[in-house]
Structure 1
Amino acid sequence: MSFYNKVVLVTGGGTGIGRATSLLLGEKGAVVAVNYSRSAVEAEETVREIKQAGGRALAIRADVSRDDEVRDMVQQVVRQFGTIDYLVNNASITRYIAMKDLEAVTEEIWDELLGVNVKGMFNCARAAAPYLREGKQGAIVNVGSVAGTTGKGSSLPYAVSKAAVHGLTKSLAHVLAPEIRVCGIAPGAVATRWWEGKEEQMRSLITHLPLERISPPEEIAQLICALLEQPSLTGQIITVDNGQTM
């Protein structure tokens, strides 16, 4: 299956895994809509790199937790490029809170993390679904986390939100079939800006991983593209964690 001239919306597409995915899709000939909420400079730079390599791309702002902004974003992409063929639900946030510090988990933090990480992915899937259905070969990849499997992570609400992402993936796979495939990935530690200031912690983690390495975002992007292309796969959560949860 070729990505040539396929329109792909990548949420959180200007940084980390989203940026790597946007660039790889651009290399493969896709038309990439690079969504961002706060990282305007990074999103514009990602689009510039795609265009400099001869590709087509657009940076577009929307807070995925807001349904009205998501619907407007989807309409802008459709007006610009005609449709949406694939969706990469990557936009996520976290708060660093000790797992045992239950009192630090405020209502505001719950609302913020669930709003972006879970409701945001649902909003994007719902708004894009009519266009993904048109070609009868649409696909969505939701970016979860091993935190959603293990129950451990940067904070308790983050881990819970990623477990919900995995559940959302399976539910969407049921309700959007057969025209749209929906899969998820559960990365372990990935070398993104989330590790800034925590380099010592990252080096310590490496020594406990069977493969003794942290994945670069480019490797996660390769898996995302492979799942978008795989016509026989839906409802699956693929773990890519260097053996962390083995």
Structure 2
Amino acid sequence: MTQPSKIAIVTGGGTGIGRAVSLKLAREGCAVAVVYSQSAKQADETVGLIQAQGRDAFGIRADVSDRTAVSAMIDSVVARWGKLNYLVNNAAITRQLPFDELDLVTDEIWDELLSVNLKGTFNCCQAAAPILRQQRGSAIVNVGSIAGETGYGSSLPYAVSKAAVHGMTKSLARALAPEVRVNCIAPGAVDTRWWSGYEEKMRKLSGALPLQRISTPEDIAESIYMLLISPSITGQILRAENGQTL
């Protein structure tokens, strides 16, 4: 394996946007920890694709909503590589629910989505912060959603959870400055397995996009990498939505 210049963790790294980010970081010279919760097979495939590029990678199973599991995940990365430069908080879940049927939103759904999407993101930032602070130019990118900006998406609890991630990004950018930059990307519709069977809803949510296209995971990966390496950008929410909110 080629000696890595940087070490990166990508949560939800086995599929979709997470896989695209993991591969992009590997192409840019990083060793990558591919974190997954349930997608073991896909995570192994992603690790194999990275290793085929001559870069080091390994998969780690961790429930990001579990602080103990997250701490162990960070320890595993440090034990293998001795440092950490980048953290991409991509792990998230959703429920497809009609927006106007509030009675469908249960305590269980609130707890589940906030536990992973919001608390899970914080858990990873909290555990990684002391290690990231040791490296010059270290950075975090949280994957939010345009739903967190517009208030409309796959479900009301999902949109609210992502709005909270956007707000937390700004707070973390202040808390971790000047050593660690923290930014957030807010993708619009992205062609991933999340929308399998809901393509019409995806297009409706997207509206009449000025760029007349739906983003690919690779599109979002390029923007995430830009945020990771941009030394003057912190506390920002980058909308990557093909002009949806113009």
Which TM-score bucket, shorter chain as reference? over 0.9
1:34-89 C-alpha deviation (Å, 9 max, x unpaired): 00000000000000000011111010000000000000000011101111111001
Aligned AA (1:51): Q
Native 8 Å contact 1:5 1:29 kept in 2: yes
Query: Are 1:76 and 2:76 matched, yes or no?
Result: yes
User: Which residue does the alignment assign to 2:115?
Assistant: 115
Aligned AA (2:169): T
Native 8 Å contact 1:174 1:235 kept in 2: yes
Which structure 1 residue ranges, 4+ long, deviate > 6 Å from structure 2?
A: none
Q: 1:164 to 1:205 in 2, by over 3 A?
A: closer
Native 8 Å contact 1:206 1:213 kept in 2: no
SS class of match (1:134): coil
SS class of match (2:91): coil
SS class of match (2:141): strand
1:152-210 C-alpha deviation (Å, 9 max, x unpaired): 01111000000000001000000000000000011000011011112344455667211
User: Which residue does the alignment assign to 1:43?
Assistant: 43
SS class of match (2:181): strand
Query: Are 1:24 and 2:28 matched, yes or no?
Result: no
Native 8 Å contact 2:209 2:243 kept in 1: yes
TM-score w.r.t. the length of structure 2 is 0.96
Query: Are 1:97 and 2:97 matched, yes or no?
Result: yes
Aligned-partner Cα distance in 2 for 1:90–1:19: 10
Aligned-partner Cα distance in 2 for 1:225–1:209: 24
Q: 1:162 to 1:33 in 2, by over 3 A?
A: same
Native 8 Å contact 1:4 1:28 kept in 2: no
Counterpart mapping for 1:149-188 below 5 A: 149-188=149-188
Residue 100 (structure 1) shift: 1.2
User: Which residue does the alignment assign to 1:144?
Assistant: 144
Aligned-partner Cα distance in 2 for 1:133–1:199: 41
Residue 103 (structure 1) shift: 0.8
Aligned AA (1:95): R
Aligned-partner Cα distance in 2 for 1:95–1:201: 13
Q: Where does structure 2 lack aligned partners over 5 or more consecutive residues?
A: none
User: Which residue does the alignment assign to 1:125?
Assistant: 125
Counterpart mapping for 1:46-57 below 5 A: 46-57=46-57
Aligned AA (2:170): K
Aligned-partner Cα distance in 1 for 2:200–2:104: 24
User: Which residue does the alignment assign to 1:33?
Assistant: 33
Counting aligned pairs with the same residue, the percent is: 61
Native 8 Å contact 2:207 2:244 kept in 1: no
Aligned-partner Cα distance in 2 for 1:82–1:34: 16
Native 8 Å contact 2:215 2:242 kept in 1: yes
TM-score w.r.t. the length of structure 1 is 0.96
Native 8 Å contact 2:206 2:244 kept in 1: no
